[in-house]
């Protein structure tokens, strides 16, 4: 099997109409057809929660199709404020930056898995009557938008999945350590951010990561200890669910609309080995690499923005090579 190209640039899913997204069409092999697709709406829907959100519309100038932006684990809508404003300005499209359940200002619930997260956001789209949506998600949010697209391809026009893949894969060992440190902070009943940071430092060596995690600390009343607004214990018990993916057979279900996968080249979440399975679930996928770790949007916001918005003429030939390699691997694996 030929080596898959490591760095690619992409034609933007955001700035081009759907018929222009992929300029090279490769016939889909038989395993991409959806004859055996099962329905995920016929039984046992979970209780959808009403999600908090920020709305960015560039002073009323953003009138195009909406974008819905989902954060990652331990994040919130505030993490995506700057990039949401930039997209609303650059694309004249309104952006809804959403807090997923158990995060930010959204309600808490003991159930925290991708089906529950997907149903919450599906309910959000229905409540706000959003059509022709682009779904963008980072990490946990990426698996959520992938789940939504595979459950109901009609829910959106396209998706952008940032640094995650549609596979069962263990979370980085950092995340259980973060949870342990956050639980230590809760148990200590700290009164200041400085105290919290000192407790968290052995569990999260990088200052930006600690600052990110500690944005979840709030004071509910004067002179009361700080507490996390996220349910740390619920999320701790859900780490295995966050590593899983609710679909495991691309012969049964796929999303045939455009899908952009953005990965950090210093991150391990979207390895070259995952590209064939991405191609089977999302046969029209495109790929762009960003010089960052897992926290792509915050580490390299300008490169992330340009990677989505700027076409690159050399992309088409590289994309064809990638697609050919994926088809060869899929037929042999």
- Catalytic machinery residues: 139, 294
Task: Please classify residue 82 by burial: count the beta carbons closer than 10 Å to its beta carbon, then call 0-12 exposed, 13-18 middle and 19+ buried.
Answer: middle
In angstroms, the CA 25 to CA 63 distance is: 31
Q: CA distances (Å), 277 to each of 169, 219, 254, in order?
A: 13, 45, 11
Structure tokens at 327: 């088809």
Cα angle value 258/260/265 (rounded, 5°): 160
* Inter-CA distances, 320 with 122, 188, 259, Å: 33, 55, 15
Two tokens at 17? 């109409």
Q: Which tokens sit at 226?
A: 């700080």
* Structure-token pair, residue 179: 């949870």
CB atoms within 10 A of CB 293: 19
DSSP, res 155:
G
Q: How far apart are CA 126 and CA 33, in angstroms?
A: 28
Distance between CA atoms of residues 325 and 327, nearest Å: 5
In 3-state terms the chain splits into helix, strand, coil percentages (rounded to 5) of 40, 10, 45
- Pairing, β 134-138 against β 158-162: parallel
On the 0-12 / 13-18 / 19+ scale of CB atoms within 10 A, 221 is: exposed
Residue 32 to residue 294: CA distance in whole angstroms? 30
């Amino acid at each position: 099997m030929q080596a898959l190209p490591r760095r690619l640039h992409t034609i933007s899913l955001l700035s081009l109409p759907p018929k222009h997204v992929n300029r090279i069409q490769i016939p889909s092999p038989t395993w991409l057809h959806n004859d055996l697709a099962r329905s995920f709406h016929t039984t046992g829907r979970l209780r959808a929660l009403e999600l908090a959100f920020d709305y960015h519309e560039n002073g009323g100038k953003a009138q195009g199709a909406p974008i819905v932006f989902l954060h990652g684990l331990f994040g919130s809508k505030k993490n995506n404020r700057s990039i949401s404003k930039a997209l609303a300005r650059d694309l004249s499209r309104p952006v809804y930056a959403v807090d997923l359940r158990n995060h930010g200002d959204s309600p808490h619930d003991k159930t925290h898995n991708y089906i529950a997260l997907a149903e919450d956001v599906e309910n959000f789209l229905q409540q706000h009557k959003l059509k022709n949506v682009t779904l963008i998600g980072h990490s946990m949010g990426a698996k959520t938008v992938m789940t939504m697209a595979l459950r109901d391809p009609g829910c959106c026009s396209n998706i952008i999945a940032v640094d995650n893949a549609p596979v069962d894969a263990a979370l980085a060992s950092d995340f259980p350590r973060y949870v342990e440190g956050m639980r230590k902070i809760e148990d200590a009943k700290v009164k200041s951010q400085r105290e919290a940071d000192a407790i968290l430092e052995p569990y999260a060596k990088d200052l930006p990561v600690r600052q990110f995690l500690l944005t979840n600390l709030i004071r509910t009343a004067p002179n009361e200890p700080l507490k996390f607004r996220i349910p740390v214990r619920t999320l701790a018990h859900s780490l295995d669910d966050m590593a899983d993916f609710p679909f495991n057979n691309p012969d049964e279900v796929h999303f045939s609309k455009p899908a952009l996968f953005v990965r950090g080249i210093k991150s391990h979440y979207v390895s070259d080995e995952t590209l064939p399975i991405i191609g089977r679930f999302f046969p029209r996928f495109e790929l762009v690499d960003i010089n960052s770790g897992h926290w792509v949007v915050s580490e390299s916001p300008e490169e992330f923005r340009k990677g989505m918005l700027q076409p690159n003429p050399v992309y088409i030939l590289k994309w064809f090579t990638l697609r050919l390699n994926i088809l060869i691997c899929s037929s042999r694996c």
